[in-house]
Structures are given as C-alpha cells and as structure tokens.
Amino acid sequence: MIEHQDQYEAEHQDELQHVSFDWMGGEAEDRTPADLKPEVPHPARMYDYFLGGKDNFPADRVAAEKVLAISPLVRIGALANRAFLQRAVRHLAEQGVKQFLDIGTGIPTAGNTHETAQRVNPDSRVAYLDNDPIVLVHSRALLAGASHGSATVVQGDLRDPGAVLDDPQIRKVLDLGQPVALLLFAILHFIDDADDPYGLVRHLVDALPSGSYLALSHGTADFMSAADAAKGPAVYRSATAQLTMRSREQVLRFFDGLELAEPGLVTAPLWRPDQPARETDAMTGIWAGVARKP
C-alpha cells in the first residue's frame, strides 16, 4: 500500500516524468511530476481499493471505507462491474467489433479491455481515455510492457466529447468511419446532471457509424433505503468527482434510439453470466447493458 506521494513517485519515476511531459504540455525541461493530489480522494483510486488493488493513498482508503460502511456490497458491485466489463467486451469482440473507445478506463487491473478484446481478436484496436493522472501513469506502464496489439491511452474528459473525438492519438488508433464500441463502464455516475450526461453520450454515439455499440454500467440506489442512498454521494462530496446514482429508468434513457442486446438492462451479474445466478445478483447496485446503433 502506498502511504506517501514520495514513495509513489519513487516507484513510478519514469512513467510520471513521461506523463507530466506529455499531458501537461510543458517544455522539454519542465518535467514536474504529475500532481496526484494524494490528500484528495479520487474515484479511480477508491475503485482500485474496492477491487483489492494497491494503487491508492490513505485519503482514498478512508473515503472508500466510509462507502463500505454504508454498504459492504459496494465491493461486490465493483467486482461484478469488472466481470461485466470483461463479458461485454468479449461479447462485442465475438460480434466482430474490432475497435473500442473505453472512456473512464480506471487504474489497470486484471482483464483490461485490450487484453480481453485481443484474446478474441488480436487485431482489436483500443483507445483508453481518463481524466485522472494516476490512470495514465499505470496504463502507459501497462501498454509499454505488454505484448499488446494496437492500444493507446490519453488524458481527456468525457465532458468534452468534441475534444475526445478530435484527439489525434485516438484518431491514430481508431477509424471513426468504421463501427466502434463505445465503453462507458462505471463512469456516468460521476457526471452531474448539470453536465448533461445524456447529451454527452448522444454526441459521441451520433459521431459513430451504424453497427457501432454502446456498452455501459451505472451505479444505482434502486436497492438501497432512501437514507443510505443519500450517504454515498455525501462521501464523494470531498472527492474529485461527485456521485450521482440513477434509477433503472434513468439509465435506460442512455440507450434511446439504440437496440438493446439480450437480456436488456439488468444488474451487472445478470448480463450474460458465465456462472449460475445467486439470489443477491438481482440486487447488485450496478445497471448494465449493451446496445447496437441501427
């Protein structure tokens, strides 16, 4: 576990310098390490903690433990979400999808999108995008060290879809004239209503050709008491992104105009499961679905 930013920087010196040089747009001599703001909880690092990862700071762990105190099932939800990501990406690759735009990548862990897709089709091309510098550090290290096909990671923000679509690094890996699977796993609940999450998704989907897909998962309080439902967002108030959980009906709206694949919008463990369902699966607080653009 990481206790101090110093230790973190020492362990990731090379990648940090690379990242700061790359995305802070500095001059060659300006190699200030990325400010990871270890004192502020970051959703990516809290999620890493939920998944049992080690790439998190004390502030992330304190905030994550507060969430787990409200509902220990959040950890189950995180694991179920990750497993859904892998089944959905595998399914899409098996449908012949060769290009993936994965927004809100998260800190790499087991079974990342490019690994899952390239296991089905080694020619799969993947562009990752996240707005958290720590994600860039780890993803670049992973992509540099792995025997990957065509994959890239860029810093960017879902709230600026025009810039995402115009990003030269993304355009180098993805041909947006050909079908693309847009992956929004466990990110839209970090987009406030004020930032028009439906408009952002529409902007991206509209830019993709027929035969493209939208796959997403989204945190929900549908299975919580009203009192508990209010506590989760309160913990995230001190974090770098706010939490807006949405009901099934609200999540369904993201798929307007698209053809939902079977079994429709269901809780994450129930989306084409690899194993027999358990009683609690239907109450996991993550809605999950995959849809095709006609």
Ligand X SMILES: C[S@@+](CC[C@H](N)C(=O)[O-])C[C@H]1O[C@@H](n2cnc3c(N)ncnc32)[C@H](O)[C@@H]1O
The residues binding ligand X (CB under 6 A) are 43-44, 47, 81-82, 85, 103-106, 130-132, 135, 157-159, 185-187, 190, 241
C-alpha distance from residue 12 to each of 8, 25, 59, 141 (Å): 6, 19, 20, 9
Closest residue by beta carbon to ligand X: 106
Q: Are strands 125-130 and 150-155 parallel, antiparallel or unpaired?
A: parallel
- The span from the CA of 196 to the CA of 217, in Å, is 17
- The span from the CA of 189 to the CA of 86, in Å, is 20
- Helices (H) and strands (E) in the chain — how many of each? 12, 8
What SS3 state is found at 125?
A: strand
- 137 vs 187, beta carbon nearer ligand X: 187
- 93 vs 103, beta carbon nearer ligand X: 103
CB of 30 to ligand X, least distance (A): 24
CB of 124 to ligand X, least distance (A): 17
- The span from the CA of 291 to the CA of 294, in Å, is 9
Question: Across the strands, what pairs with 148?
Answer: none
CB of 241 to ligand X, least distance (A): 5
- 30 vs 192, beta carbon nearer ligand X: 192
- 31 vs 171, beta carbon nearer ligand X: 171
Query: What are the b/e assignments for 93-130, b being 16+ CB within 10 Å?
Result: beeebbbbbbbbbbbbbeebbbbbbbebeeebbbbbbb
- 177 vs 199, beta carbon nearer ligand X: 199
What SS3 state is found at 103?
A: strand
CB of 102 to ligand X, least distance (A): 7
CB of 85 to ligand X, least distance (A): 5
Residue 215 identity (one-letter amino acid): A
- 110 vs 282, beta carbon nearer ligand X: 110
- 204 vs 208, beta carbon nearer ligand X: 204
CB of 53 to ligand X, least distance (A): 11
CB of 185 to ligand X, least distance (A): 3
- The span from the CA of 113 to the CA of 209, in Å, is 21
